[in-house]
Every structure is written in C-alpha cells, then in structure tokens.
A and B are shown apart, each in its own frame.
Chain A
C-alpha cells in the first residue's frame, strides 16, 4: 500500500510547459555555441540553464505519466529517460553544430519506439505512455548535452573526448583520459539528471500536490546539480569560466531553495518546532 495519488486540476497545462521547456533548452544550448564564436569558454553556464529548463519540462512529464499508476516506482521513469537519452546524445554529438536538433529527433524516435513497446508489446495500455516516454527520452538527451556543455564548453564529439593533462605542474599535454567521456564524467551527469528529474514529483507526491511547489523544487534540483557540475568543470575548462558557472549556480540555488521552503510553509498543515504529536480523535 502506498500513498494514494489524485489528480489536481488547474495549474499551467502540460503542453505549455513542454513547448516552453523545449524552446528554452534548445536556445540555451545554441547560446553556449558562442563559446566557439568567441573562442572562449565563458558561455558554458548556458549549458546549466539548458539543464534546468529541460528538467522542469521532464519533471512535469513524469507527473503526468506516474499519475496513472504504472505499478513500478517513480525512479524507474527517470532511469529509462536517461538510459535512452545517453545513447541518443552520444550519437548526436557527432553532428557538430546540428547536435541539439539531431539529439532531439533521435531521442524522440528512440522514446517513441520504447513507448510503443511498453504500451503494446508489454500491454501496459496507459494512454499517455508513448508520448511520455518520447518526451522523457528527449529530456534525457538534452539534459546530458547541457551537462556536457557546462563541464567541457562544447557539445561536439571532439570536445567531449579531448582534454589536457598538466605534467610537472606547467606542461599541458593533450590526453583522452582527462575528458568528459574518457574520465566517465558522463556517468556522473547521467545519475545527477536521473535523480533530479524524478525527485520533484517523488518528493511532492501526495493529495496536497501543488504544481508551483513541484516546479520550484525542479529548479532547485537543477541549480544544485549545476553547482557540483560547475565544480567538476574546474578540471576541464578555464578557472574563470568555471567560476562564472559556479556563482550563477549558487545564486540560483539559494534563491530557489528559499522559495521552496516558503512554498512548503504555505502548504503544510502546521509548521512546528519542538512540539509533540498533535492529538487526533481515535488515535
């Protein structure tokens, strides 16, 4: 027996969130391409902002999907999103500047087929399954691409597989091992995203679910992931650019975290400090 889920009407419709999230993510990913235009790495933080927009979209998709009682937990949806997303994202990075669009299309195809398999071959027969899995795969791919940009400054295969290693404290030698893929930082990004996408719905689950509280929590999870990803990026991009990402992430996280606490205070039955269990009739 688990918590009963009841649908709450009202709030921003899912289609609006989907379109806004998709457009915002793609725009942020392309804004990060300014790195190439200006030959710096200063615009890597746009990758973090892309992550946050994609996560907001994705967490609402998970809310739509899991309201139908799929029988397994909420975390599995996050895992399948990123499992299919990482595969699409890695192939898309080979297409240079078209990488985000290719990731979008490829992930949509993979997600659609997985949705068809789940609904029809595995007989789950959930109305929104195919659309939800398609959206989740796209979110997974774009989030990983955002992390890649944040940590390395680019979303091309060459950028993700090359780095440099400092020898004797000053000589910088090119090395494949000190890179996003070679050092398997993509595995960390995978889990960061997978937990961040399912946490907001999982944590706000219950009869008192409110859309604005969940979306604020998504933004907070996104900024929190951006903080640690920015710290990891110190190893791969210049210290100044990483510092910009870190400062933006810290400010964003503090703001969204305080807002989230405020919203929880608004919605809670009571906000007590060191008080006993209240008397309820019959218990």
Chain B
C-alpha cells in the first residue's frame, strides 16, 4: 500500500530503549505472577512465555511472498504470513491436544511434528503446482546460491521477476516454522489446561470430569488468541513478506523475541488471573 503520510520506513534498526523497557515489563509481569500464585501459576506463565517466543521466532522461518507470489513474481507462498502460520500452528495444536493425556513432552513434540507435517505437505504441493502446472522452476531473488544445496539461483529467475516458487532453503524454513509454531501453540495450551484442570473444580464447585470441557475450551481459545497475537506481531516485524531464513529481513528476529515474550507474558498473566483471583 502506498502510505498516506510520509511515514519513515520500518527499518531493521533496533531500538535499545524500547527493548530495555520490554525486558523490564517482562520482569514486572513475572513478579506479579509470582506474588499472585507462586508455584502453579508461575510455572504456567513461564511455559506460556516460552510457547509465545517459539511461535514468534518460528513465524520468521515461514516463506511468504504475498500478492506478487500469486503471479510468480516473488518466491514464497501466496498467502498472508499470520494466517499461514496460524494454519500450521493450529494443525499442530490439534495433534498436540489429542496427545495431551500422554504428558507434556510427548504432546509438545506431537504438536511440533503435526505443524511441521502440514507445512511439509503444503510446501511440497506449492512446488508441485509451480513445476508441473506452470512450468516454472524455483528460484530465490535474495541470494546467489542456495545456502543448503548450493544450487545457483540467478539464471533460474525469469525476466522481470524477483524469483518464484520455493527453493530448498525456503522449504526447510517452512517446515522449521511449522515445527516451532506447532510446539509453541501446544505448549501454551497444555500449560493452561493443566492449570485449569487443577483449579477450576474448586472455583466452580464441581468434579474434575465435569469441568473438563470448560478447561479444554478456555485453554484452547486462549492458545488460539495468543497464537494470533504473536503471529500478527511477527508479521509487523517482517512487514508482510519474507523469503525464508536466508532473507536479510530474518536478521530482525531479536526484536520479535522481546515483543513476543512481553505480549505472551501479558496475555498469559491474564489467563492465569482467571483462576487465581
């Protein structure tokens, strides 16, 4: 979009004061959780923060080309970054929630594998369509050689475009993004689910099996809400499109880690306060 006002470009620069303020906010939120509910609540909050950071970091790996990719003008997947990441993360969350009864570690890894599988299949089909449906090989516009396979890129770029399809490094980036997103979303879900399962029976004065639907749905909707907030913040960080981990924009990830950590801490604290006040 052409900007209306003369807006200075959101460059890759980092704002040290803001980062420090962010870290201070994070510590304050952790302290509030410690005061309100040391033990169960604090553990849940730490889990939520880690989950949120995984999501925020993971979304940087997903190759998204936006509108130009839909015309074969830019490499990447032709969908919005927040929603593509949400699709992968939610597919992971689906699998992770199913495995919740088998413990935290298994559930999180299952969620990670679920998200990675969704991205692997999608990225493979994207290349399938480009190669067999449109006759266009994959080429990156940002590097001369693929960092993983060493394939040269510039001569496979059609004239007048920035590249197209998914070079191997973008494919791997997509899978890694799906893995991290699925893991992060499932971690948030499991932490909140365990907290709610432990505390809701006393609050609603009902048995554990009776409140299970409430615990599951509340944890689920919180996980989805936090997933979307983190994904949109990352989308703001990369200003909409990124080719994958080899893209220079990828170097902006430290800002996103701080932003995701603070946003997840804030939302996680609210989620915990529901059952502790």
A113 at the interface (CB under 8 A from B): yes
B211 at the interface (CB under 8 A from A): yes
A105 at the interface (CB under 8 A from B): no
A24 at the interface (CB under 8 A from B): no
Q: At the interface, is chain B mostly helix, strand, loop or mixed?
A: helix
- Which residue on B lies nearest to A67, using beta carbons? B4
A269 at the interface (CB under 8 A from B): no
Chain B residues bordering chain A, tally (CB within 8 A): 62
A84 at the interface (CB under 8 A from B): yes
- Is there contact, CB below 8 Å, between A121 and B232? no
Interface size classification for chain A:
35 or more
- Is there contact, CB below 8 Å, between B271 and A87? yes
What is the 8 Å Cβ interface bit string for chain B, positions 226-262, against chain A (1 contact, 0 not)?
A: 1111011101110110000000000000011011001
* Stretch of A45-53, A123-131, A222-230, A259-267 contacting B (4+ beta carbons < 8 Å): A123-131
A-B contact count (CB 8 A): 179
Residues of A within 8 A of B68 (CB): 1
Complex Cα distance, B170 from A106, in Å, reads: 40
Shortest Cβ distance from A174 into chain B, in angstroms? 9
User: Contacts A70-B236, A106-B270, A117-B22 known; A123 to B229 CB distance under 8 Å?
Assistant: no
* Stretch of A146-154, A184-192, A233-241 contacting B (4+ beta carbons < 8 Å): A184-192
- Which residue on A lies nearest to B8, using beta carbons? A125
User: Contacts A2-B1, A7-B4 known; A71 to B222 CB distance under 8 Å?
Assistant: no
Interchain residue pairs A-B with the least CB separation, the first 6: A69-B3, A120-B18, A71-B239, A83-B228, A83-B229, A182-B213
Shortest Cβ distance from A75 into chain B, in angstroms? 7
Complex Cα distance, B224 from A184, in Å, reads: 12
B101 at the interface (CB under 8 A from A): no
B121 at the interface (CB under 8 A from A): no
- Is there contact, CB below 8 Å, between A91 and B274? yes
- Is there contact, CB below 8 Å, between B10 and A190? no
